[in-house]
Structure 1
Amino acid sequence: MPDRDAALDAIQRELTAFARRARHKAAQMHPDLSLVTYSMLDLVKERGSCRAADLAAHFMLDKSTVSRQVNALEKLGLITREPDPEDQRGQLLRPSEDGLRLLADAAERRRLAFRERFTDWTDDDIARFAGYLTRYGAGD
C-alpha cells in the first residue's frame, strides 16, 4: 500500500500544479477573466446556450457566485442574455461574438501549448493519457 499512497500523493500534487497553471493561463487570456469565468463561458459555448442555474449545477457553485461571474462576463461583452422561450422569467446565456473569438483564440493557444508539451510523447502515450483523464473525469 505505501507505493499506492505515494502514487496518490503524486497525483494530488500534479493535479494541484495543473490547476494553478490553468488559472495562470486564464489570466493571460484576459486580465479580467478568471478560470471560473473562462470555464463558464466555455460551457455556454459548448451547449449553445444555458441558464445560470445550469452553470451553478454543472460547476457545483452557489447561485450568487454564478450570478457574479455571469455579470462579469456580460460586462466584458463576452456573453449575451435573452429570454428563455420555455420560461419567460428565466434568461438564456449565449456567447457573444467577442466571447466566441476569445474562446477560439484560447483554444488555438492551448492546442499549440499542448503540442509543444507533448513533443516527446508517442501517439499511444497521448491516447492513454487522454483515456485516463476521461476515465478520471467520469468518476464524478
Structure 2
Amino acid sequence: MNADESVIGRIETEVALLMRFGEATRRAIPVEAHRSLDRAAYVILRHLDEAGPQNVSALAARLNLDGSTVTRQVGAMERDGLIAREADPSDGRGTVVSATEAGLRRMSVVRGARAEVYEEMLADWSDHDRAELATLLARLNEALSARSRARRRS
C-alpha cells in the first residue's frame, strides 16, 4: 500500500466513525431538544431557513435526495405544522414549501442544543483548529454533494 492509499484509508475510516459517533451522540443525549426533530426534518428546515421557500424539486436537488423521498418528508412535516405549502408565485400551477414559525422555533431549539454539544466537545480546541475543521467539513460535504449530483445525471 502506498502513502496515498494509506491516507485515503484513514479518511474512509474516520468518516465512517464520524457518521457512527454522530448518530450515537444524537441518540444518547437525554435532552428532548435533540429528539424533537428527525434528521431529515432538521436538514430541510435548516435549508428553508437559509434559502427561503422552495419547490420540492429544488429541495430534492439541494439535498441530493429523490423527489418522492422529499415529497413524503414534506407531507409529514406539513401534517406536523413545521412547513406550509403555497402556490408558486412564479408558476401558479406549482407549489413551494416554506418553514412555519413553529418549524423555525423547533429547528432553532435543536440547533442550539447541538451547538452546546459541539461547544463542549471542542472546548479545548483552538479557534484556528475549529475554523479549519469547519472549512474542511464544508469542502468534504461539497465534494460529496457534487459526486451525488454527477451520479444522478449519468
Judge same fold: TM > 0.5, yes or no: yes
User: Which amino acid is 2:35 matched to?
Assistant: M
Change (3 A) 1:88 1:19: farther
Instruction: Name the CA distance, whole Å, in 2 between partners of 1:7 and 1:83.
Output: 48
Residue 14 in structure 1 maps to residue 41 in structure 2: no
Instruction: Name the CA distance, whole Å, in 2 between partners of 1:87 and 1:54.
Output: 14
Partner of 1:95: 99
Q: Unaligned regions of 5+ residues in structure 2, if any?
A: 147-154
Partner of 2:135: 131
Residue 56 in structure 1 maps to residue 68 in structure 2: no
Instruction: Name the CA distance, whole Å, in 2 between partners of 1:21 and 1:128.
Output: 24
Structure 1 residue runs of 4 or more that deviate by more than 6 Å after TM superposition: none
% of aligned pairs identical? Answer: 33
User: Per-residue deviation at 1:28?
Assistant: 3.6
User: Per-residue deviation at 1:21?
Assistant: 3.9
What's the TM-score, normalizing by structure 2?
0.78
Change (3 A) 1:119 1:19: closer
Alignment root-mean-square deviation, CA: 2.3
Instruction: Name the CA distance, whole Å, in 2 between partners of 1:59 and 1:43.
Output: 9
User: Per-residue deviation at 1:117?
Assistant: 0.7
Residue 108 in structure 1 maps to residue 112 in structure 2: yes
Q: Unaligned regions of 5+ residues in structure 1, if any?
A: none
Partner of 1:29: 35
- How many residue pairs align between the two structures? 138
User: Per-residue deviation at 1:16?
Assistant: 2.5
Contact kept, 8 Å, 2:86 with 2:96, in 1: the verdict is yes
Contact kept, 8 Å, 2:84 with 2:97, in 1: the verdict is yes
Q: Which moved more, 1:10-19 or 1:116-125?
A: 10-19
Partner of 1:121: 125
What's the TM-score, normalizing by structure 1?
0.85
Residue 3 in structure 1 maps to residue 6 in structure 2: yes
